[in-house]
Amino acid sequence: MSILIKNGHVIYGENLEIVRADVLIEGNRIVSVEKKINETADTVIDATGRVVSPGFINLHTHSPMGLLRGLADDLPLMDWLQNHIWPREAKLTREYTKVGAYLGALEMIKTGTTAFLDMYFFMDAVAEVVEESGLRGYLSYGMIDLGDPEKTEKELKEALRTMEFIEKLGSDRVHFVFGPHAPYTCSIALLKEVRRLASEHNKLITIHVSETMAEIGQITERYGKSPVVLLDDIGFLGNDVIIAHGVWLDSRDIQILARHGVTVAHNPGSNMKLASGVMPLEKLLNAGVNIGLGTDGSASNNNLDMLDEMKLAALLHKVHNLDPTVADARTVFRMATLNGAKALSLKAGVIKEGYLADIAIINFNRPHLRPINDVISHLVYSANGNDVETTIADGKILMLDREVLTLDEERILDEAEKTIGKLA
C-alpha cells in the first residue's frame, strides 16, 4: 500500500518548517518528502490548499466517557465524580463501554488524532475498538484499591488480564499500559507492585498526579509529603511514567520529574472546566520536563478535539502569567505532536522520512484559516477539529474527505444515543 499526498503545505521535521511539497507513504512509513514526487501510488490525495500535519497525540483521555458528555457540568470535581460520574460508571457494562469507545474513536479520527493514551474500565473492549478503528491506542485499566488489600489483588489481576488480552490481539497499534488511578486512590502496595510489573514487562505507566489542591492536602496529611515526593520515595518514577495533570507541582516536585525523565500530560480544558488550577508550564519547560497534551475525558472538556485543546493551552498560560509570550504556538504544537510521541517511544509526531505515517490533512480553504499567514498559528489559534479532512494512521487512511472508512459513523451515533438512556 502506498499513498501520495500532493501539493500540500507540509509541516516538515522537528523544527516545523512549512514547505510546499509532496509526501510519499509506503507501508506504514513516510519514505519521501520532496518538491515534486513523480512516482505512482495506490492512492493519490490532492492536498492543494491543505496543510499536511503530523497526526495529533492525545496523551491523556478516558475515551469511552463521551457517553457522559454534558450530563453534569459546572460542578466541583468531587461532587461531579461522586454524585454524577461514578454512579453512572457503576452501571457501565462491557457492552456500554464499547459503545462509548466507538464514539471516542470516531471523534478522534474526525479531529485528526492518530494516537492516544487511555485509562478506563473494560479495556479489552476498548482494545477491540481501537484495533478495528485503525488508531494507535495505549490502553490502561484504571486501578483503584482505596487501600483494601483484597481490592489490590483484584485490580492487579484485571490489569494483567487486560495485558494478556491485548498481547493476544497481536496488534502493532494497540499497547497495554499500567494505569494506577492516582496516589490518593491507590495503596503504596499497589503502586510498588505496578512499578515492578511495568519494569518486568517493559510497559509504560500512566497515573493522575497533583490534579487538585484537595489531593495535595489529602496526600500531605496521609504521608507528610507531596504526591511526587511520595512516588519518588517508593521508586515509582522513571522515563516510562506519564503523569496526567501535574497542576499543583512545587519546585522540588518539578526537579524530581525532570531528574527521572517523567512526562507530564497537560490537560488545560479539564483543569479549567473543573477549576483544578493551572499547571506551571514555564517552570516545567525551564526544567526540561517533556510535556504532552491531553483532552482528558469528554465529561470534563467536553470533547476530544486536540486543535481546540492547543488553543486552550496557548491562551491559558498567557493570561495566567499576564505574559503573552509564554506558550507560543510552536511550543504548544509540539506538545500535541512530537512530545506525545516521545512519551510513548513512538517514531511519530513528525512529518519526515523514516517516521510512521500518522498524518492529519487539514483544509485551509476556509475563511477562518485565510490568509495563510502562518500555518502553525492558524492550527493553534483558529482551526478546530472539523477542519481536519483526512486522517492517516500507520499508513492507512482512516478518514478521507470527512468520511470515516474504518467505522460506521451513523450506527455509532445511534447506539450512543440509545445507550445513555439505559445509564440514567
Residues 4-43 that bind a copy of itself (CB under 8 A): none
CA–CA dist 103, 92 (Å, integer)? 15
Residues 354-383 that bind a copy of itself (CB under 8 A): 365-368, 370-374, 377-378, 381-382
Q: Toward a copy of itself, which CB reaches closer, 329 or 335?
A: 329
CB atoms within 10 A of CB 147: 13
**For 263, phi and psi rounded to 5 degrees?**
-95, 140
Alpha helices in 54-138 (DSSP H): 77-79, 86-90, 94-110, 123-133
Radius of gyration of the chain measured on its C-alpha atoms: 21
Q: Toward a copy of itself, which CB reaches closer, 226 or 302?
A: 302
Query: Of 170, 202, 325, 354, which one interacts with a copy of itself (CB under 8 A)?
Result: 325
Residue 324 binds to a copy of itself (criterion: CB under 8 A): yes
Q: Toward a copy of itself, which CB reaches closer, 160 or 372?
A: 372
Of 196-204, 250-258, 389-397, 406-414, which segment contacts a copy of itself by CB under 8 A? 406-414
Residue 216 binds to a copy of itself (criterion: CB under 8 A): no
Shortest separation between residue 283's beta carbon and a copy of itself, angstroms? 17
Q: Toward a copy of itself, which CB reaches closer, 255 or 321?
A: 321
Tally of residues, the chain: 424
Query: Of 6, 311, 334, 342, which one interacts with a copy of itself (CB under 8 A)?
Result: 311
CB atoms within 10 A of CB 278: 15
Beta strands 29-34 and 2-12: pairing type?
unpaired
Residue 405 binds to a copy of itself (criterion: CB under 8 A): no
Residue 217 binds to a copy of itself (criterion: CB under 8 A): no
* Percent of residues in the chain assigned helix, strand, coil, to nearest 5: 45, 25, 30
> Which residues line the annotated binding site?
60, 62, 89, 181, 208, 211, 296
Q: Which residues contact 410 (CB under 8 A, 6 or more apart)?
A: none
Q: Toward a copy of itself, which CB reaches closer, 127 or 329?
A: 329
- What letter does residue 304 receive in the DSSP assignment? -
The answer to whether 299 and 273 are in contact (CB under 8 A) is no
Of 24-32, 102-110, 134-142, 348-356, which segment contacts a copy of itself by CB under 8 A? 102-110
Of 132-140, 161-169, 235-243, 299-307, which segment contacts a copy of itself by CB under 8 A? 299-307
Helix axes 329-336, 306-321, angle to 10 degrees: 140
- Single out the residue of 388, 361, 357, 396 nearest to residue 134, CA to CA: 396
Q: Tell me the per-residue interface mask from 132 to 171 with a copy of itself, x by CB under 8 A, - otherwise.
A: ----------------------------------------
**For 357, phi and psi rounded to 5 degrees?**
-85, 75
Of 9-17, 74-82, 198-206, 333-341, which segment contacts a copy of itself by CB under 8 A? 74-82
Of 6-14, 112-120, 226-234, 384-392, which segment contacts a copy of itself by CB under 8 A? 384-392
